Structure 1
Amino acid sequence: MKASQTTLRQSDELVQRSDSVAAATEQQRAVVESISREVGEMSTLNQQVQASQRQALVVCESLDGQSRELRRLVGSFRIDTRVELGAG
């Protein structure tokens, strides 16, 4: 009788350990899924940042071109600094 009680007790311990392993495995799965989602979100944000940087570069290049054109236009004007005196 004692051997069967020992076997039952060991069987119960084995079930408890299996349940603990199953619970830990479920927790790890949930953590892995969460990390995976967060990595995906970071990747999406990174792509958005890259797109914004490309747009900013295009705008900067356009402003640079407009600035050069404005300098050229301003440079083409000549101001006559001679003042006519005694015209009266």
Structure 2
Amino acid sequence: MAKVTQQDGTLHFSGNLLIGNISETLAHMRAFTVSVPLTLDFSHVQSVDTAAISLVLEIQREIHHQHPDAPIVKIVGVPDNLHSLMKLYGVDSFLLN
């Protein structure tokens, strides 16, 4: 199971971001009032699959829809397994800038 907490302009993710719980994670995250600029912190995430990339893309899409002139969402604390997936799918340079 994944957990999302909010502190100022940062969403902190922990636990497992997997296909089986990503919908629940996204629904939980939508309960927050998100401001820009936004930082996503994955430093306490243990397991990921491709659903984690989908989550990041969905968050970026929603932020851009709500705030078209907002800066790109900053991503920090990316664990090696998530970084490897981002690299495999060719989105690492796009998501980690």
Q: TM-score, normalised by structure 1?
A: 0.23
Q: TM-score, normalised by structure 2?
A: 0.21
Q: Which has the larger radius of gyration?
A: 1
